[in-house]
Structure 1
Amino acid sequence: MAHSEMTYGAHARAVLTLGLPLVGGHVAQFAVNLTDTVMLGWYGVDELAAVVLGGQLFFLAFILGSGFAFAVMPLVAAALADEDETLIRRTSRMGIWLSVIYGLVMIPIFWWSKPIFVALGQDPALSEAAQSYLRIAGLGIVPALIIMVLKSFLAALEHTRVVFWITVLAAATNALVNYALIFGNWGAPELGIIGAAIASLVVQFVMVTGAVIYTLGKLPQYDLFTRLWKPDFDAMKRVFLLGVPIGFTTLAEVGLFAAGAVMMGWLGTVQLAAHGIALNLAGLMFMVHLGLGNAATVRAGNAYGRHDVEHLARGARVAIFMSLAFAVFSIIVFITWPEWLMSLFLGRDDPNFDIIIQVGATLLLAAAFFQFVDGAQALALGILRGIMDTRVPMIMAAISYWAVGVPASYFAGFVLGWGGVGVWVGLGLGLGVAALLLMWRFWVVRIAEMRNAAPVEA
């Protein structure tokens, strides 16, 4: 059967075969951060708020640098369709180069992060604790970015199960080290937030080691680490030009939620802690959309490499439908069990338990409001990356998240006086505008251009 003649059922099976391990990998990766939040929530609200604050800065820097890794995925997928092993190797190596350079630049920012938090209106004591966390956990940004490149390399080659198992190993390691070092169990010292930082650093090195061993053992034909020291400026330029818009696009979205965290911090430590828990729960659901989006990127990249427009369109419809179906499930969960979900992150003896549960449950109801649009914008971005379209989506995302989402959050939260719920309504509005613009970009503009054999804009 020709690729363009695949039935929707065949597309669905292909997306699930590729996407489910990626979803599992994203969920396991998210579990690393989730474990920090849960265990520090048991340890103390102040420590939880500090990690929410410090974790947001780390994630902002990490997600910007991840643009190079995300660029590797469609480039390798397209090269695989052309059976160009040399280009696969060159692209992946330079993705590692750019990621390491970027990570080294970010470490000093983490080391002296307290003034940044204070300038954003955060409590000085909370800022000091967040900086202490980042001075250890921030060192992990280099291995974290390397593992992102290796994950993209493996996913594009459809070796997705190993990505899942490596991440599961990392999540289990994080839970064990957290349990020992945060609370002082098994004879270890009680380090609180510093223990969580050490655990996060250990996890990054565990993941890199696992991915390197697998690549050397199972994919020796690509010689990925041979002459790794040698720069390849042509391949580096390709990864850079595709990766920078991807990084800024993702940064714009993550920055929207980071701005939301800053605004919640203005409302108080309790509100910020509740926001962190609710955001973790919403983020856990988002990992499914992200995994489907990654699968869509790989499949779109393969179709793009073969110039098969109908295969691309059918595959996109299937992936988007799957995302919408999961959004329905997410909404049901958030509306049905908000208080119980929030209670998983807190100790019952915490003096702020009741108020955090109350605030967080309300935020989860607001989160249910944007499940459809959050998934839709993630899938649209994934498909557009697969066809090497990143510049215009970057502009669309920046407008949606920052010209619409952030002002709407401030207006609803503080001018209208809706508080935390208003902040989250604004977040949902920004995501909704992004979903509409990006879907229009793919279905109305790019599909028409490709059918008319118009030049493709990277």
Structure 2
Amino acid sequence: MATAAPIAPRAPAPWSDELRATLALAWPLILANVTQQVIQATDVLLLGRLGELELAAATLALNLTFTINVLLLGLLLACSPMMATALGRRFNAVRDVRRTFRAGLWLLILTMPPYWLLLWNSAPIMRALGQAPELADAGQTFLRAYMWCTAPWLVFQLLRLFVSALEKPRIVLWLSFAGIALNALLSWALIFGHLALPALGLIGAGIGSTLTWLVTCAALAAVVQRQRLFRRFHVWGRWWRLDSERTLAMVRLGAPIGITMALEMGVFALAAYFMGWIGAPAVAGHAIALQIAALTFMVPMGLSQAATVRVGRALGAGDRDGITRAGWTAWLVGVLFMATMAIGMWIFPGELVGLFLGPASSATVRDLAVTFVSVAAVFQIVDGAQVIGAGMLRGLHDTRWPLLFALFGYWALGLGIGSWLAFGQNWQGLGIWIGLAIGLASVAVLMAARWSMREKLGLTRPPNA
């Protein structure tokens, strides 16, 4: 009797395998990003019902913190490629990972005191940027309660980078979900005076955010300390000892990342202050449109973080084909998602804006927000492309040229064209948003071009251990 021919083994499918690995790493990061943004959006939603002045003041204050937060976050983001490359080179790189984590802690210890001093005295800065005294004073009132959440938020991000480098980010997702519920409850009670608590308005929103991030950060720290996979790295071991060599290495790699992110966020922050020159309704409309765009942006941001880890691991292993697959897989998934979101924002801008406004809100704010959301729909695709491109290059430890791209695209093109259209051509808020779209598009093209030239530029050579 003839024997059956042996079944040929299934040919490897590296691209589909990479897609599965990228999505497995990215989806908890994406949802965690979305949930963290929802925490912020909850405050905006509640303050929008408190009044236009409060919403505008908190928006100006938050834009000031956003810029500095992302600058410090960028310094910490150097942990991601450093840890990923070390783990790609040797899975049991316990000491190397711990040194990088401890360097991140020291960067926060050194930078937080001057940051808090600046936020405590933020009203003069807002007035110097041309804001009305009542807006500046209200914004400072909010910040003096909100500023204390910045330290636990940044420590939470450092812990998140550690667990993500080990490709175990799901715990961050569940804690972020819990943070949404906790922040919504605390902010609702403290802003409006529910649950036998005083009605503190802007101060209540700041206290609610601070308490939320203290609890969330403490919970993640406890998980890292207790779970066996994380505990073996002893990341808290001798944290009080300054490792100057590793800290300086993080600064060299992370400073361009932080400045790049700050340049992008700074453009949006300055755009909010330009809106303040136009009027409080423009600031409120800008805040709503920005929150909607920021929520969709969390998806490519998560894919960017996943791309950094996947590219960094392939770099550490010396796998050039793996580098190619890891980068382009994340980029294609992100661009397709943002194209879908762009269609939805273009078709339903009024319905999306309505989620953030009460029935008594002015028609002016509503109309401005709808206009801005329509423009935001146009730049969704390039916004996703540029942030994932930055993550891909970050995985190759390439951070200086992306900084120059951001300086040119966001500030020279985006801000220059936006301010000219807004004030030179009297397009006002619409002109500012068109300028933002042009700036993002230019950066996306430059990032993609540099990634395409990575072999010629020698970016795929593994760094020294």
Give yes or no for TM over 0.5: yes
AA matched with 2:457: E
Q: CA deviation at 1:156?
A: 0.8
Is this contact kept in 2: 1:450–1:456, CA < 8 A?
Answer: no
Is this contact kept in 2: 1:296–1:386, CA < 8 A?
Answer: yes
Deviation per residue, 1:96-130 (Å, 9 max, x gap)? 11023212220010000000000101010010000
**Distance in 1 (alpha carbons) for counterparts of 2:169 and 2:348:** 32
From 282, 300, 306, the counterpart of 1:295: 306
**Distance in 2 (alpha carbons) for counterparts of 1:75 and 1:277:** 36
Q: Show structure 1 runs of 4+ deviating over 2 A.
A: 447-451, 453-457
Alignment partner, residue 212 of structure 1: 221
From 345, 359, 371, the counterpart of 1:348: 359
Is this contact kept in 1: 2:335–2:385, CA < 8 A?
Answer: yes
1:448 aligns with 2:459: no
1:37 aligns with 2:44: yes
Q: CA deviation at 1:333?
A: 1.3
Alignment partner, residue 72 of structure 1: 79
Q: What secondary structure, in the 3-state scheme, does the structure 1 residue paired with 2:264 have? A: helix
Alignment partner, residue 384 of structure 2: 375
1:114 aligns with 2:97: no
Alignment partner, residue 424 of structure 1: 433
Q: What secondary structure, in the 3-state scheme, does the structure 2 residue paired with 1:158 have? A: coil
AA matched with 2:102: R
**Distance in 2 (alpha carbons) for counterparts of 1:58 and 1:10:** 40
From 40, 65, 70, the counterpart of 1:58: 65
**Distance in 2 (alpha carbons) for counterparts of 1:19 and 1:104:** 33
From 233, 254, 270, the counterpart of 1:259: 270
**Distance in 2 (alpha carbons) for counterparts of 1:32 and 1:327:** 22
Alignment partner, residue 243 of structure 2: 232
Q: Which has the larger radius of gyration?
A: 2
Alignment partner, residue 234 of structure 2: 223
Q: How does 1:180-199 map to 2 (within 5 A)?
A: 180-199=189-208
1:322 aligns with 2:333: yes
How many residue pairs were aligned?
449
Is this contact kept in 2: 1:103–1:145, CA < 8 A?
Answer: no
Is this contact kept in 2: 1:449–1:455, CA < 8 A?
Answer: no
Is this contact kept in 1: 2:318–2:461, CA < 8 A?
Answer: no
Percent of pairs identical after alignment?
Answer: 36
Deviation per residue, 1:287-343 (Å, 9 max, x gap)? 001001000010011011011111111121111111111112111111111111111
Q: CA RMSD in A?
A: 1.4
Q: CA deviation at 1:152?
A: 0.7
Deviation per residue, 1:121-149 (Å, 9 max, x gap)? 10100100000111111122222211111
**Distance in 1 (alpha carbons) for counterparts of 2:240 and 2:139:** 35
Alignment partner, residue 167 of structure 2: 158
CA pair 303-232 structure 1, distance change in 2 beyond 3 A:
same
Alignment partner, residue 346 of structure 2: 335
Alignment partner, residue 288 of structure 2: 277
Q: CA deviation at 1:447?
A: 3.0
Is this contact kept in 1: 2:421–2:432, CA < 8 A?
Answer: yes
Q: Structure 2: 5+ residue runs without aligned partners?
A: 1-11
1:28 aligns with 2:35: yes
Is this contact kept in 2: 1:140–1:200, CA < 8 A?
Answer: yes
Alignment partner, residue 9 of structure 2: none
**Distance in 1 (alpha carbons) for counterparts of 2:66 and 2:180:** 17
**Distance in 1 (alpha carbons) for counterparts of 2:107 and 2:13:** 37
**Distance in 2 (alpha carbons) for counterparts of 1:203 and 1:53:** 21
**Distance in 1 (alpha carbons) for counterparts of 2:95 and 2:238:** 13
**Distance in 2 (alpha carbons) for counterparts of 1:447 and 1:283:** 33
**Distance in 1 (alpha carbons) for counterparts of 2:249 and 2:360:** 54
Alignment partner, residue 387 of structure 1: 396
Deviation per residue, 1:413-455 (Å, 9 max, x gap)? 11111111110000011111101111111112x233348x768
1:305 aligns with 2:316: yes
**Distance in 1 (alpha carbons) for counterparts of 2:62 and 2:433:** 19
Deviation per residue, 1:145-166 (Å, 9 max, x gap)? 1111111111111111011111
AA matched with 1:370: F
**Distance in 2 (alpha carbons) for counterparts of 1:456 and 1:377:** 24
Alignment partner, residue 408 of structure 1: 417
Is this contact kept in 2: 1:286–1:374, CA < 8 A?
Answer: yes
TM-score by length of 2: 0.94
AA matched with 1:405: G
1:201 aligns with 2:201: no
**Distance in 1 (alpha carbons) for counterparts of 2:456 and 2:323:** 12
**Distance in 2 (alpha carbons) for counterparts of 1:296 and 1:382:** 6
AA matched with 2:85: A
TM-score by length of 1: 0.96
Is this contact kept in 2: 1:54–1:130, CA < 8 A?
Answer: yes
CA pair 213-342 structure 1, distance change in 2 beyond 3 A:
same
Deviates more, 1:318-327 or 1:19-28: 318-327
Is this contact kept in 1: 2:335–2:381, CA < 8 A?
Answer: yes
Q: How does 1:62-141 map to 2 (within 5 A)?
A: 62-81=69-88, 82-83=90-91, 84-141=93-150
AA matched with 2:75: F
**Distance in 2 (alpha carbons) for counterparts of 1:128 and 1:327:** 37
Deviation per residue, 1:50-90 (Å, 9 max, x gap)? 11000001111111111122111111111111231110010
Q: Structure 1: 5+ residue runs without aligned partners?
A: none
Is this contact kept in 2: 1:68–1:149, CA < 8 A?
Answer: no
Is this contact kept in 2: 1:68–1:99, CA < 8 A?
Answer: no
AA matched with 2:37: F
Which has more helix, going by share of residues? 1
